[in-house]
Structure formats: C-alpha cells, structure tokens
Amino acid sequence: MFQTELAHFLELFQLPFMQRALIGGILTGIMGGILGSFTILRQLSFFSDALGHSALLGISLGYLFGLNPSFVLLPFLVMLALLVSYLLERTRLWTDALLNIISSSAMAIAIITLSFVGQYKGGLDNLLFGDILAIQPMDLVFSGVLLSVSILYIGLTLRTQMLLTVDETLAIARGVPVSTHRMIFIVLLSLVVGISIKGIGVLLVSAFVVIPACAAQQLSRTFTHYVLLSIGLGVLSAVCGMVISAWFNLPSGPSIVATQLAIFLTAMVLPRFHSLTHKPYTPQAQD
C-alpha cells in the first residue's frame, strides 16, 4: 500500500508541471526569504500584504482592457508601490491606516471591475489562492532573473542595508543615499510579490515574505546568519509544502504556507528549550 503510494508520489514529481511548480516554489522561497528578512525588520510586512491585495486590481484592469493580466500586473504593482511609498513619506497618516485604505479600496474596485468583465478566464479562486501547478517555463525565467537581481543587489550592498535597517540617521551621516535604496528595495519587493502571485495568490503571497523571516529572527544571533536562515527556511517550506501537497493531494499554495507556519511555531519554541540550558546575558556591574 505504502509502496504504491510512494511510487505514485515519485511519478508525480517526474511530470513537467510538477517539476516547474517545485522549482517555482524554491525560487519564490529564496526571493521571499532574502527580501523578507529586511521587510520585517523595517516594519514593511503590511506593505507587502497591501501590495498583494492590491494586485487584484492590476489583474482586473488587465481583463477589463483585454490585455494579458501578467503584463499589466508588474508595472501596476511597481507604480502602486512607489505611490504608496511617496504617500507614506508625505502624509501625516499612520502607516497601517494608510495601507489599510489602499488595500481594501483596491480590492473593492477590483471586484467591481471584475463584475464588468463577466466570465473572465481562470476564476476568482485562482487569483485569490494561486495555482503553483500552472506555472509556465516563462514564469520561471522571470523568477530566475528577478532572483539574480535581488541577490546581486542585496549581496553587494549588504552592509549598507544592515546600517539602513539599524538606523537611517546613521546611514545618512555616512553618505548612504537612503531614498534611492528605499525605492530600489520597494520596487524589488513589488516585483517579487507580482511574480509570486500566479503561484500563491493575492491572499497568501505576503506569507512568503513574512513567515520564513520571522522564523529565522527567532533562531538567529547574527544578522548574516539571520538572512541566510531566512532564505533557507523559505526554500525548506516550499519543498516540504510541495511534498505534503502532492502526498495528501492538498492545494499547493496553502500547503506551503501551512508548512511555513509549522516552521515558525517550531522556531518560537526552540529558543525556549535553548534558554533552559544556556544562561542569558545580563549587563554586569563593573568593579
């Protein structure tokens, strides 16, 4: 019985669409991990969530004007991200309030727009929760290029990014062009969200950015370790989620996010065990 299921399972991963889904999950896991590690520390988690929700509007506009939604989505998200970033700097509103206004308004307008389109291809479920099994070779190429750009940018400016994350004032005093770095980061984040939506959907996409990084934060003591662990956990959750999805015949995107949650909960518990055997640091009085 088990051997039959195992054989079926292994056969499944020999199918091209399954291999593409696995590779797509891994690429998204790496991108989410690398950008997510900075996103959560800069308190931009809700920003990525708002981008994900607002993506529905970009897709619906594509349908409305009879254009390929994928081609509309990426420029739409980049423009929206820059607009939101501008508004966050210029208005006196609280960040979470402004992001809430944008994401809920975008969702509402998107649903109204889709009602004009009528019977659009794909279905709302696919937009909301994604279909990683439908990833095409060209999607993998886009993801690969974006991943390469993200790794090059973060890798070559890692120490600048670290200082920016610690304190923007210190970074400006050292001559770091903070606005330029902020804009590049937000554009990259919006592209990652946009490219990942096809596989994961607008509702779950921010989980790829936020959850592995939060799990890594629980387990890390150095910044470099934290970034690498965030990437590693992003990949681990994608692979395990895909395996669980294939084995139990569950939806792939939600399976990956559920795996991320399991990893996060484990990461929350592990330091508690560690603290039982290691004495934490407390400031010492000097002689």
Rule CB under 8 A: is residue 167 a binding residue for another protein?
yes
232, 219 contact by CB (below 8 A):
no
User: CA 144, CA 28: separation in Å to the nearest integer?
Assistant: 9
- The whole-angstrom separation of Cα 221 and Cα 242 is 30
Contact positions with another protein (CB under 8 A) in 134-163: 155-160, 162-163
Burial classification of residue 251, based on how many CB atoms lie within 10 Å of its CB (0-12 exposed, 13-18 middle, 19 or more buried): middle
Binding to another protein, residues 205-224 (CB under 8 A): 216-217, 220-224
Interface residue with another protein, options 172, 239, 243, 261 (CB under 8 A): 172
The binding track of 95-134 with respect to another protein, each residue x by CB under 8 A or -, is ----------------------------------------
First to last CA, the chain: 70
List binders of another protein among 173-212 (CB under 8 A).
Answer: 173-176
Nearest distance, CB of residue 158 and another protein, angstroms:
4
Residue in 84, 18, 75 with CA at minimum distance from that of residue 47: 84
Rounded distance between C-alpha atoms, residue 137 and residue 24, angstroms: 9
Size of the site for another protein (CB under 8 A): 34
248 part of the interface to another protein, by CB under 8 A = no
**Closest approach of Cβ 86 to another protein, in Å?**
17
Q: Is 170 in the site for another protein (CB under 8 A)?
A: yes
Residue 16 or 175: the one with the smaller Cβ distance to another protein is 175
Q: Which two tokens stand for residue 203?
A: 């509702």
* Residue whose entry in the numeric block shows the structure tokens 């996010």: 257
Residues 6+ apart with CB under 8 A from 11: none
- Contact residues toward another protein (CB under 8 A) are 41, 155-160, 162-163, 165-167, 169-176, 216-217, 220-226, 280-281, 283-284, 286
